[in-house]
Amino acid sequence: MTIATREEKVVSALAHIIMILFSAMAVIPFWLLIAASFSSETYATKYGYKFLPQELSLSAYEYLFKQGGQIGMAYLITVIVTVIGTTVGILAISLLAYGLVQKDIPGVKVVFILILVTMLFNGGLVPQYLIYTNTLHVKNTLFGLILPNLLMSGFTVILVKNYFQSNIPGEMLEAAEIDGAGQFNIFFRLVFPLSTPILATVGLMAAVSYWNDWTNGLYYITDHNLYSLQQLLNEMNNNIQYLANNASNLGGADISNLPSVTIRLAIAVVAIVPIMVIYPFFQKYFAKGITMGSVKG
């Protein structure tokens, strides 16, 4: 049993204090966001946001509840897109990364260089839009919300590739191949199960990217029945802001009870709660996956 020295105790105490401060800096904005979303519109406009609602009001959430049908459909669309996009993305990234570690496949270095090039340059928004709409015809389809983010970036491919090289014993793969196992059998029975940390990390990054995405909907979706959650909430926010700024031109319509400040906070709460609930289950893999995947052995 080792006894900590005084210097070690001081360092440990300072480390705990710093981590507590960083944790507070991360938690306090979320608490302020949630608390302020339950404040009355007049109080929030006049006095700003408080850590405890001074005038409790559910007007912002009542407004969202009235849009329950649209929000429910948008939630469903977002869940479908997130699940399919994340699952297919993990599979595509891991297969591509596994191919890149195979030294006996012709053209591997060329493919790797092309992936590196995508980290430095891209074709631009207009060519991308034309390819997706005129060639792939993803306009007003779920593919318009899935395909543009499917491989995420070359960084994630390299991350998984480095993990395979550093943490999957080559001798084990060679032994499986000698025993007659094919490459797909080796990948799905050996490599995939041994890569849980990096795949969970990449999967979490992909899920957050899909869940928070609204630009693809802005570019490729005009059908209200295919609106994602972020796109719908963004449109609701813009509509409320438009009504607030043009009240005098609306023929005397009563919008005095329409929340504008608190609705933005409620919209943010509705959008981030699912990610906040899911993240703790993947957090234990995140640091391990990033650390192991970023260093080439």
The DSSP line for 39-88 is: B-HHHHHHH---SS-SSB--HHHHHHHHTHHHHHHHHHHHHHHHHHHHHH
Task: Residue 135: give the domain boundaries.
Answer: 63-294
Backbone φ and ψ for 3, nearest 5 degrees, come out as -105, 125
Is 39 among the domain residues? no
Residues 203 and 211: their CA atoms lie apart, in Å, by 12
Beta bridge pairs of residue 39: 56
Burial state string for 22-36 with b = 16 or more CB within 10 A and e = fewer than 16: eeeeeeeeeeebbbb
Residues 295 and 280: their CA atoms lie apart, in Å, by 25
Is 10 among the domain residues? no
Residues 174 and 217: their CA atoms lie apart, in Å, by 45
pLDDT at res. 297: 44
Return the axis-axis angle of helices 261-294 and 196-212, rounded to nearest 10°: 160
pLDDT at res. 249: 62
pLDDT at res. 21: 93
∠ at Cα 144 (198, 96), nearest 5°?
Answer: 30
Is 170 among the domain residues? yes
CB atoms within 10 A of CB 230: 21
Q: Chain-centre distance of CA 244, in angstroms?
A: 31
Is 276 among the domain residues? yes
Helix, strand or coil, per DSSP, at residue 230: helix
pLDDT at res. 146: 92
Tell me if the pTM is above 0.85.
no
Owner of token pair 């959008």: 271
pLDDT at res. 154: 83
User: What CATH number did the domain enclosing 186 receive?
Assistant: 1.10.3720.10
Is 16 among the domain residues? no
The pair of three-digit structure tokens given for residue 296, joined into one six-digit string:
């080439």
pLDDT at res. 284: 64
Is 161 among the domain residues? yes
HEC letters along 197-215: HHHHHHHHHHHHHHHHCCH
**What does the longest C-alpha to C-alpha distance in the chain come to?**
81
What is the tally of structural domains in the chain? 1
Burial (0-12, 13-18, 19+ Cβ within 10 Å), 192: middle
pLDDT at res. 177: 82
Is 286 among the domain residues? yes
Strand positions, DSSP E, 84-237: none
Q: Chain-centre distance of CA 105, in angstroms?
A: 33
Is 274 among the domain residues? yes
| Spatial contact of 94 and 192, defined as CB atoms under 8 Å apart | yes
Per residue of the chain (297 residues), give pLDDT as tens. 455 677 888 888 899 999 999 988 888 888 888 888 888 877 777 777 777 777 788 888 887 777 777 888 888 899 999 999 999 999 999 999 988 888 888 888 898 888 888 888 877 888 888 888 999 899 999 999 998 888 667 888 888 888 888 888 878 888 888 888 888 888 888 888 888 888 888 888 888 889 988 889 889 998 888 988 888 878 877 777 666 666 566 555 555 555 567 777 887 888 888 877 777 776 666 555 555 544 444
